[in-house]
């Protein structure tokens, strides 16, 4: 095969001639340089950048900010005592100073809707906290260590997971109400919280275990082990922080679910007692008016507040899920 000098241009057929401009006319950019003064962005910083561009996130923030203000400062919205009944105004319609009217017992509907947010949101928040912490701890241990510990923890979780959430909470609350009927405000709140959490933690455990199984095989975990990190330090210092994304998404959505679950239990008469103002109790008390068609607005206000709060947490969960999902980066 004949050899050609490397500095000669390749032969071209007629009509295929090319013009190559000299380097002085079109200087080449330095493509090999990069800015090494900036530290690499973490997963959470990248997620926050995507989150800020998502309009669903800002809608949920507005809704939940309003809910938080109502929970912390209900007196800003009404100065009426939600526990003061006036039977002479039973089922009276809206009037000046009472924009939602009164229920059958003569309670101001708007005042009870505002003050009812505190108990309902408190149960949802505490329930999410109690469910998430043990779910993450035991799920991480099961996924990281494996073997007998994984088998034991997973089988115990399967037993609780097989029991429906509301059914298990109903049975548990029925037993507790018979054994301990008078337990005060915080006693009733914590009872509902632990009744729901007892059957809600296995779902968090499964998500946490799966995330840890995925993360523990990555290169940075092997690198940490190579420089002398113990298994415990590797687990809680590297694996768990990098596997929290799906757990955070689940916890955000679950918060709204537990608020609805508390309202359902109170509606069935086994959640919070009628002495505690909550949305579930008000919806339960208004069911007779809805059936008879007397005053549909009595149920409309607490039901709308419950739906709006749940919607805020669900929208926040969707926005956080999109921000933390690695596949969403490829769609941008």
Q: Report percent pLDDT > 70 for the chain.
A: 84
CATH homologous superfamily for the domain 103-331: MetI-like (1.10.3720.10)
**In this predicted model, what pLDDT tens digit does every residue of 137-169 receive, in sequence order?**
999 999 999 889 899 999 999 998 888 888 888
Cα torsion at 150, 152, 156, 159 (round to 10°)? Answer: 90
Is the pLDDT score of 127 beyond 90? yes
Delimit the domains of the chain by residue range.
Answer: 103-331
**Chain mean pLDDT for the chain:** 82
Q: Is 95 helix (H, G, I), strand (E, B) or coil?
A: strand
Write down the pLDDT at residue 204.
Answer: 92
On whether the CB atoms of residues 256 and 314 are closer than 8 A, the answer is: yes
How remote is the C-alpha of 276 from its chain's centroid?
26
pTM of the model: 0.76
Residue bearing tokens 């906290």: 129
Residue 67 binned pLDDT confidence (cut-offs 50, 70, 90)? very high
Write down the pLDDT at residue 5.
Answer: 45
Arithmetic mean of pLDDT, 108-131:
91
CA angle 194, 195, 196 (to 5 degrees): 90
Which tokens in the block code for residue 69? 């203000």
């Amino acid at each position: 095969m004949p050899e050609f000098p490397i500095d000669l241009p390749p032969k071209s057929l007629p009509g295929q001639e090319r013009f190559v401009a000299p380097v002085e006319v079109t200087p080449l950019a330095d493509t090999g340089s990069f800015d090494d003064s900036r530290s690499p962005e973490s997963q959470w910083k990248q997620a926050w950048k995507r989150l800020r561009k998502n309009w669903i996130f800002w809608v949920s923030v507005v809704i939940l900010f309003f809910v938080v203000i109502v929970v912390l400062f209900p007196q800003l919205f009404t100065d009426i005592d939600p526990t003061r009944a006036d039977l002479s105004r039973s089922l009276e319609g809206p009037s000046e100073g009472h924009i939602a009217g009164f229920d059958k017992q003569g309670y101001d509907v708007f005042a009870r809707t505002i003050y009812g947010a505190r108990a309902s949101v408190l149960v949802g928040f505490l329930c999410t906290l109690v469910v998430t912490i043990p779910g993450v701890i035991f799920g991480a241990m099961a996924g990281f260590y494996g073997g007998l510990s994984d088998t034991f923890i997973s089988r115990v979780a399967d037993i609780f997971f097989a029991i429906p959430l509301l059914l298990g909470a109903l049975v548990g609350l029925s037993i507790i109400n018979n054994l301990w009927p008078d337990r005060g405000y915080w006693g009733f709140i914590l009872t509902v919280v632990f009744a729901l959490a007892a059957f809600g933690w296995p779902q968090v455990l499964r998500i946490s275990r799966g995330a840890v199984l995925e993360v523990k095989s990555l290169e940075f975990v092997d690198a940490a082990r190579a420089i002398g990190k113990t298994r415990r330090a590797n687990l809680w210092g590297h694996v768990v922080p990098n596997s929290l994304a799906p757990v955070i998404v689940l916890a955000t959505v679950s918060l709204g679910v537990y608020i609805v679950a508390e309202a359902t239990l109170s509606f069935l008469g086994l959640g919070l007692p009628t002495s505690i103002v909550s949305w579930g109790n008000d919806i339960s008390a208004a069911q007779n008016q809805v059936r008879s068609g007397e005053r549909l607005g009595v149920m409309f206000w607490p039901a709308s507040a419950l739906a709006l709060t749940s919607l805020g947490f669900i929208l926040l969960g969707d926005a956080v899920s999109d921000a933390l999902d690695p596949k969403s980066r490829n769609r941008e």
